[in-house]
Structure 1
Amino acid sequence: MDKRVLSAAFGAAVAAVLAVTASASATASAGNVLTTGSPTGPAVASGDVLSASLASGSQAKIVTTQGGSSGITCNSSAFTATANSNPTAPGTATETVTAHTLSNCTTNISGATGVQSITVNNLPFAAAVTSGGALTVSAGAAGPIQTTLKINTILGVTTCVYRAGSLTATPSNTDNSLTFANQHFTKYSGPSTCPANGYFSAKYGPVRDTSQTGSPVVFVN
């Protein structure tokens, strides 16, 4: 056989092998928006429970002015959500936020002596996670996103209710976290001693799929 023909045949064979390999690699790397263990790990299944507490060394804060220092600081906070849909990436996965707690809180708001409780109302909320984007929390069927603060004062307990249209968090695959920064709440009800605004910030992580064996960490793709 002519060397040129042999060389061409060999080149064609190599090209075919490379094409098959590339196709197989693309198929293997195609994953879902939410995966466990790694970006190419198993998909989070519909109905799986995802949860996280505050990231190590962090606190949840509600300040009365954006970037301010007056407000409430909580040393304990956690959320739980249930996965609903989880399409192939890129796409948008949906969840239902079923619980969100804040506790072990202190305050330096003028006139306040302590925090009796913080309650997140109108759960469950809806949540959507977009590939390469953010997690957005919006109101569910029970009503708007609402938080009730009971603040201790020298005159008794003051109840302040706040609402937000939506909340946005930034996911990170570096430490499998979700970060809320300066999410704006406005006062819905309460006396004039309740601040007019609240800005919520917190970092949660690692987020884990507690329905799977070993509670693997969750990645957003």
Structure 2
Amino acid sequence: MQLRRWGMAQEIGILSVFDSGRLKERPSFWLSLLKWLLLTPRLVVLTLLALVFIVANVLSYFAVLLTAKFPQDKFDFNARVAHWTWRVGFYSLEEFIYRNWSSIDWGSALELYQTDRHGGRRFPAGAWTIDFLARDRDTNDLVIIQLKRGDTSDSTVGQLLRYASWVREKVAAESQNVRGIIITKKTDSALEYAVKNLAFVEVKTYEVDFHLRLTPIKTLTPPESVAASVEKQALEAR
């Protein structure tokens, strides 16, 4: 997994890459396999729901033609299916980051924030939940890490700003700064403009690499070669 940090070049006002990070160690194959096995039942259910989702949208199309209104129950169903799909899809990313936290180069010495009652993953923030709350060991800053799911860019940035205000008021010490990191698969113009003037917010994109490597295997010596070698050594001994 590779993280790339994006920031704003103030003098020209455009988005530019100025740092990157990568996973130093490969995750355990068996642990990854176990996670996928646990995820399989949900994927099966989501596949069935996707079929129902398609049928519901076809019926809604005819309902709109006849009534000029989109059925509210179909809309609620579609919203719930979409939300669950995003949650399942990004749970694997959240789990991967949590399991490999120490192997990811964040660009600074980040550690998960801990209290007597809560850890830094899915940290409760009043009526909301922060994906990750970390602390920078070098600067003592609190860092909010927000995963951009299927939400709009405005919604993601709005959530991060709300969490930042809550952390400043409820968690941070008087001299502690609060920063934010948004992790997303790709950026868009809406996200770029939303964080353009937010100096304390960084946007990182991630990449997952999959490699197959050929493992060299030492060729075994054929039995006839072994016999010939033994006979040769016996003749030399005479």
TM-score, scaled relative to structure 1: 0.33
Larger strand proportion, structure 1 or 2? 1
TM-score, scaled relative to structure 2: 0.31
Higher relative contact order (CA 8 A, sep 6+): 1
Larger helix proportion, structure 1 or 2? 2
